[in-house]
Structure 1
Amino acid sequence: MTTSSTSTDAEGSRRPRSVLRDPGFLRLWTGATASGLATWVLPFVLGLGVLERELSAVELGVVLAARTVGFLAAVPVGGVLADRHSRRGVVLWSGLAAAAGAPVLALGLGWSLPLMIAAAAVMGAGQGACRPAYQALVAEVVDAEQRQAANAAMSMAVRVTTLVAPALTTLLALVLDTRALLVGIGVIWLCAALVPPRGRRFAAAGKTRVSFVREFADGVREARRHPWFLAGLGALTAVISLGYSATGVILPLISRDRYGSEVVLAAALTAATVGGLVGALLMARWKPPAQGWIALAALACYGFAPLALLLPVHWLVIVAAYVVAGMGIQLFNVPWFTATQREVEPDKLARVSSLDFLLSYGLAPIGLALIAPAVDAFGVTAVLGTCAAACFLAPAVAALVPSTKEFSRHTVEEARR
């Protein structure tokens, strides 16, 4: 349960209390940060296994693919379970499953690839199941007026983990071997499972249970009731699957071939993370008018990343473009999550969130897989140009849907009365 979100100043007036002073949210934030850290650290730890010749590059790819499959399979199931049962309970059991998979993964390292595949799939399933549950739990733990700040804090945690994960893994590798690091990831998942608080229960009591497929379909129908959500999700999916995937695959090639150094690669990726932190900090307090249009315009800014890679510019221009791209993603994410928590029926929130994750980030691996063949077939210039155009155009098309202006269909209905 959340504590009061207001406090009294010296003159006796009521003012909002910082969400960071809410013990319930701090527990939720800690758990979400732990799950993000465990997720980001795993590829780096397994990469160390490749360097130590305990794992081949092909085996690394297979294990990470198994984790992705587990994630995608569990996201819709986790959404249904989080709406059917306690969101806190889904976080607990999914986190425990991921924690249990970590030592099994360590056991199979260098000994049994099938065991590693199975363990990675279980860890991916735990990660996938907890994502919509965490998203729905924010709406239970945090009062409505504080959710934008809460979502900004959650976004900042994600950006920080992307910065910390490689350095932390490198430092710990000086004193621990790969198996010990994998077991340590299990401990982090235990934190993600056990620390979050209980939330308010929004699901209707005595609800008739139907099949998983029908319950997920109910979530899809709920999503369809919100045209702004479908339009925004389409734009986000286009940017992630095309823009993000293209820059992820082509940036290392541009860094090597055009600039002759890996410095541009490292600087651009760091710049995107820093931009994301700046964007999340800005959205912690800024509540712009026409927030949906502002968010979509910010999302379109990701197009500057492939555009900068396309043009023969100084490498600092690429770094600046990645700062803008990272900032834009967070200027979109924070109001997007906040609007979803506000507009969607509470007992269907986890299912709608699972649909969000399933399409926006679930299709990203397909984009990554297709970019390299597309470059071979059409060339780097054509691929980057197409992806940049998609990043600019998809949010612009989404903005044509009236309810995207405020990310709310209620404002459109009120205007018609």
Structure 2
Amino acid sequence: MVTARRPAWAGRNFTLLTGATVIANLGSSGALIASAFAVLGAGGSATDVGLVATARTVPLLLFLLIGGALADRLPRHHVMVAANALSCVSQGLFALLVLTGDPQLWQMALLAALGGTGLAFFAPASEGMVLATVSGEQAGRAFAVFRMGMNGANIGGAALGGAMVAAVGPGWVLAIDSAAFALAGALRAFLDVSKVPERAAGRGLRHDLRDGWHEVVSRPWLWAVVVQFAVVNAVVAAAEAVYGPLVAEEHLGGPGPWGLALAAFGVGTVVGALLMTRFKPRRMLLAGVLCVFPLALPSAALAVPLSAAWLTLVMFVTGITIEVFAVNWMTALHQEIPEEKFSRVSSYDWLGSIAVVPLATALAGPVQDLIGRTAALWGCSALIALLTAGVLGIRGVRQLTRRTTEPAAGGAGVEADAVSRC
């Protein structure tokens, strides 16, 4: 009898983290749809849906840096489990309100804010914990598999969540999300941290935040990409959340084709992650940043506008390329950032990625009124292309090189090559 063996990079902790992420994301993706329909079912307007979504985003912005510093100071799995418990409680109460009562807008906004707070503490700790489970030249493959599970869960969760909201109502979907957080937290509680090196005691939260900031600004390749995506994510959000549905309604046949295009993007990310289990470019950051250029294509396709079929193809290809960037970016951070500072750096990366999004989506309508939707979409596309070209001008982006490693005793990685970087 032949017993299947896990590859060396897929250890127990990696398996637990990946399984917990798949479970949590299956629930969360459906819950995002359920929360919107819960607001509408309570008599809320589209503005009220936006207010509840904003209530989730604001604490995320406020607490991300604190969450990153805390995750580098305390055992990360404890932070993750506590954050999952908070999310479990907030979603459970949200479900209870919807199922048994007449939920008020302020109640739903408050519970959404609690969920956002949980995410602010969870996200930096999670990325730091994933970093600690993989080492050596297989890190890129491990990250690709992790993201493949995460992206697949997002797609499946959204599809299942939408169907279940229609079949049984949003309350039960929110209840399932609460249970998913409980199960994911339980799995993460079983992480083996005995081999994770102990960290020296910090000198205070303010010092820890300054230390994390120094790690970011001392590496031009890092802060350049963070600044790039602060703008890129903002204009992509404006195009997809505001302009895309309008173009779909007027030119593509309504929400059906637009939903198909978004689903194609999600499928593309899974294919991109699968590709990255085999593709290991030597200059990983250069390869990753080059793959950001196609992110300008969906806005251009909406500006033309292309037919629904062509837009779907564009979104699929874009999903592949942006996932190639994401895995290479995660691999570069894994290689270059000290483990004991990773969560703080991750929190600055997260903050840069989402900080401008609310402003961009709020200004999308006024900008359209001022210059027209077509010009606004071409502007989104141009900004992405220009910023990406600018980042390629950073020497460290072009020259950051993947280290080759050999496994040492105990599973740690020994560097075999020096890395060329700024």
Equivalent positions of 1:241-252 (< 5 A) are 241-252=234-245
CA distance in 2, matches of 1:400, 1:174: 49
SS in 1 for 2:66: helix
Q: Deviations over 1:259-315 (max 9, x none)?
A: 333333122111111111111111112101322111111011100111111224333
Aligned residues: 400
SS in 2 for 1:280: helix
Contact 2:212 2:345 (C-alpha < 8 Å) held by counterparts: yes
- Is the deviation greater in 75-84 or in 233-242? 233-242
Q: Is there any run of 5+ residues in structure 2 with no aligned partner, and where? A: 405-417
Amino acid at match of 2:67: G
Amino acid at match of 2:282: P
The yes-or-no answer on 1:204 pairing with 2:199 is: yes
CA distance in 2, matches of 1:313, 1:176: 37
Contact 1:227 1:401 (C-alpha < 8 Å) held by counterparts: yes
Equivalent positions of 1:230-309 (< 5 A) are 230-309=223-302
The yes-or-no answer on 1:28 pairing with 2:20 is: no
Give the 3 Å change call, closer, same or farther, for CA 225–260 of structure 1 in structure 2.
same
CA distance in 2, matches of 1:335, 1:414: 15
Contact 2:56 2:115 (C-alpha < 8 Å) held by counterparts: yes
The yes-or-no answer on 1:100 pairing with 2:89 is: yes
Amino acid at match of 2:174: L
Equivalent positions of 1:100-119 (< 5 A) are 100-109=89-98, 110-119=102-111
Report the Cα offset of residue 66 of structure 1: 1.1
Give the 3 Å change call, closer, same or farther, for CA 370–213 of structure 1 in structure 2.
farther
Equivalent positions of 1:4-403 (< 5 A) are 17=7, 19-20=9-10, 22-50=11-39, 52-53=41-42, 55-109=44-98, 110-173=102-165, 176-196=168-188, 197-199=191-193, 200-205=195-200, 207-210=201-204, 212-403=205-396
Q: Which residue of 1 aligns with 2:415?
A: none
Contact 2:53 2:112 (C-alpha < 8 Å) held by counterparts: yes
CA distance in 2, matches of 1:79, 1:44: 28
Amino acid at match of 2:90: G
Report the Cα offset of residue 68 of structure 1: 1.2
Give the 3 Å change call, closer, same or farther, for CA 249–220 of structure 1 in structure 2.
same
Contact 1:84 1:203 (C-alpha < 8 Å) held by counterparts: no
SS in 2 for 1:285: coil
Q: Deviations over 1:152-208 (max 9, x none)?
A: 122212321332123212443466443333222111111222212133434533x24
Report the Cα offset of residue 123 of structure 1: 1.1
Contact 1:203 1:346 (C-alpha < 8 Å) held by counterparts: no
Amino acid at match of 2:103: W
Give the 3 Å change call, closer, same or farther, for CA 306–355 of structure 1 in structure 2.
same
Report the Cα offset of residue 25 of structure 1: 0.9
Q: Which residue of 1 aligns with 2:410?
A: none
Amino acid at match of 1:125: T
Amino acid at match of 2:333: T
Report the Cα offset of residue 52 of structure 1: 3.7
- Is the deviation greater in 102-111 or in 138-147? 102-111
Give the 3 Å change call, closer, same or farther, for CA 366–213 of structure 1 in structure 2.
farther
Amino acid at match of 1:230: W
**Runs in 1 of length 4+ with deviation above 6 angstroms?**
none
CA distance in 2, matches of 1:198, 1:405: 37
Contact 2:213 2:345 (C-alpha < 8 Å) held by counterparts: yes
CA distance in 2, matches of 1:361, 1:130: 15
Q: Which residue of 1 aligns with 2:411?
A: none
Give the 3 Å change call, closer, same or farther, for CA 36–362 of structure 1 in structure 2.
farther
CA distance in 2, matches of 1:49, 1:191: 24
CA distance in 1, matches of 2:258, 2:137: 39
Give the 3 Å change call, closer, same or farther, for CA 116–315 of structure 1 in structure 2.
closer
Give the CA RMSD over aligned residues.
2.6
- Is the deviation greater in 23-32 or in 46-55? 46-55
CA distance in 2, matches of 1:93, 1:415: 39
SS in 1 for 2:87: helix
- Provide the TM-score with structure 2 as the length reference: 0.87
Q: Deviations over 1:57-77 (max 9, x none)?
A: 443322221111122223212
CA distance in 1, matches of 2:319, 2:291: 10
CA distance in 2, matches of 1:173, 1:313: 31
Q: Is there any run of 5+ residues in structure 1 with no aligned partner, and where? A: 1-14
Give the 3 Å change call, closer, same or farther, for CA 367–132 of structure 1 in structure 2.
same
CA distance in 2, matches of 1:29, 1:265: 30
SS in 1 for 2:306: coil
- Is the deviation greater in 271-280 or in 41-50? 41-50
Contact 1:235 1:394 (C-alpha < 8 Å) held by counterparts: yes
Contact 1:91 1:134 (C-alpha < 8 Å) held by counterparts: yes
Q: Deviations over 1:18-71 (max 9, x none)?
A: 544x23211001122233333322221123324544655443322221111122
Report the Cα offset of residue 383 of structure 1: 0.9
Q: Deviations over 1:212-256 (max 9, x none)?
A: 233112101011122111122222222211134323321111111
Report the Cα offset of residue 16 of structure 1: 9.9
CA distance in 1, matches of 2:290, 2:214: 27
CA distance in 2, matches of 1:140, 1:345: 10
CA distance in 2, matches of 1:363, 1:84: 28
Give the 3 Å change call, closer, same or farther, for CA 408–217 of structure 1 in structure 2.
farther
Amino acid at match of 2:114: V
Give the 3 Å change call, closer, same or farther, for CA 76–385 of structure 1 in structure 2.
same
